[in-house]
Amino acid sequence: QAALGGCFAVGAGVVQDEEEAVKLYRQAVGQGFAAAQHALGQCYAEGNGCVKNDVEAVRLYRLAAEQGFAGGQLSLGQCYLCGTGVAQHHEMAARFFTQAVAEAQMAFGICCMLGIGVVHDEKKVAWLFRKAAKQGFAAG
């Protein structure tokens, strides 16, 4: 549902239809899918396929962020940084940005561990995982 919604959002292989994208994202959000929560939040933030609603965007970003979805963490941090849909709060912005960084460090560490797109480097893996762990990422 979320992937098909993405196709409708940009017109990839189908006629672009932002309202259909929103409909499909909502179905996936109902199943708790973090990527769909983030995508639907972006729709509300930009008014694509629905009425622009920054408060609803923040609610959806928060759902995604609470599941550890880096996109949700980054978007929620930006909302706190700018005071969009939520009271401006720089410390909260920094908190969510830090969570997104830790998620990215873990993902890059896995790439280094498996040699995906980069040279296998065990020292870099340990360094990245340590950094993520110090930032509170449970899997680090």
In the prediction, which pLDDT does 82 show?
A: 97
In this predicted structure, the answer to whether residue 138 has a pLDDT above a threshold of 80 is: no
Could you write out the three-class secondary structure of 92-111? HHHHHHHHHHHHHHHHHHHH
In this predicted structure, the answer to whether residue 60 has a pLDDT above a threshold of 70 is: yes
Residue type for position 83:
G
Cα distance from N-terminal residue to C-terminal residue, the chain:
31
Q: Distance between CA atoms of 140 and 130, rounded to whole angstroms?
A: 6
Q: Distance between CA atoms of 122 and 113, rounded to whole angstroms?
A: 6
Average of per-residue pLDDT across 34-44: 97
In the prediction, which pLDDT does 103 show?
A: 84
In this predicted structure, the answer to whether residue 133 has a pLDDT above a threshold of 70 is: yes
Average of per-residue pLDDT across 55-83: 96
> What pTM, to 2 d.p., does this model score?
0.84
Q: What is the pLDDT of residues 74-117, one digit of tens each?
A: 999 999 999 999 999 999 999 999 889 888 888 899 999 999 99
The SS3 assignment for 136 reads: coil
In the prediction, which pLDDT does 137 show?
A: 65
- Residue written as tokens 């979320």? 2
